[in-house]
Amino acid sequence: MVERQRGIRVPEIVEGNWLQPRIALTFDDGPHAVMTNRLLDELKRLGVKATFFLVGKRMRFHPDIVIRMLVEGHELGNHTYHHVRLPCLPSSEVVAEFKRTDATLRMITGVSSRLIRPPGGEYSPAISRRLAANGYVNVLWTCNPSDYKPGRSASEITQLIIRDINPGGTILLHSGLQTTIDSLDATVSMLRGRGYTFSTVSELIRNGGTTQRAGRALPSKTRVDDVSDDIGALYGDATEFEDYGKKLRDYKLDFPGTKLQRLLNRTRVKD
């Protein structure tokens, strides 16, 4: 399910065929020790296969969950190693973020993935060209219920998905949130009731083609909100006071005069 991405020749994917009632559930930012296992339990119960865009540094701590995803028929994609905002990186380091995650995926599973998703959907035409030149396929979305927002309920997540879904649509969710897990039963039931079937991203592509919008950011039907500053706390791995000097040394990044917090996702360095 990972390397069987034959026939994918486009550099960027937003959605599948508008004429087919196929949709893809995608989950970003995992794996998380407790929540992702709960999510996998629920997907198994519902009989739904999804596509997971995984963060490399988290994969190293939870290789068993990564293997479980693959064994249970889910598709694995690449969401950078540090969950870093790509426009904040020097151009020479953009591809390195994905290659390091790719190497981690190969180390755990023996296979790799061409499917990637930039954190926050942030990229530029130059970044898009660089990624395509390295064989990656940028997977975006059409439906974003902002499940990460503090106070967002399971019923609200379901209502927003039902409101904004379209044939060929790709739904953006996150794998570390209990409310997202709680929303799935009603969401899947209502979508199936409307005639939709669930596919992985690769299946969505192979069964009817794709729509491309290369070189520009995605205008989601629901407003594409940036991930909130509180997302780390929600996931239980808040990093406000992490030693970014050590993180960057480990990553072999050394940019004199560059503010460390600009190299990482919406974070602050302790004074």
In contact, 186 and 159? CB cutoff 8 Å: no
User: Given 28, 29, 102, 147, which residue is catalytic?
Assistant: 28
Kindly give, in sequence order, each residue whose CB lies less than 8 Å from that of residue 80, ignoring residues fewer than 6 positions away: 55, 56, 86, 97, 98, 101, 116, 118, 119
Which residue shows structure tokens 């974070």? 267
β-bridge pairing 12-13 and 51-54:
unpaired
**Active site includes 174?**
yes
Catalytic one among 62, 79, 83, 174?
Answer: 174
Q: Coil, strand, or helix at residue 139? A: strand
- 185 catalytic? Reply is no
Dist. CA 25–CA 48, nearest whole Å: 9
Look at residue 251 and give its three-state secondary structure.
coil
> CA 216 → CA 14, 35, 98, 128, 165, distances in Å?
11, 33, 20, 9, 21
Nearest by Cα to 100 from 66, 32, 54, 137 = 54
Residues involved in catalysis: 28, 174
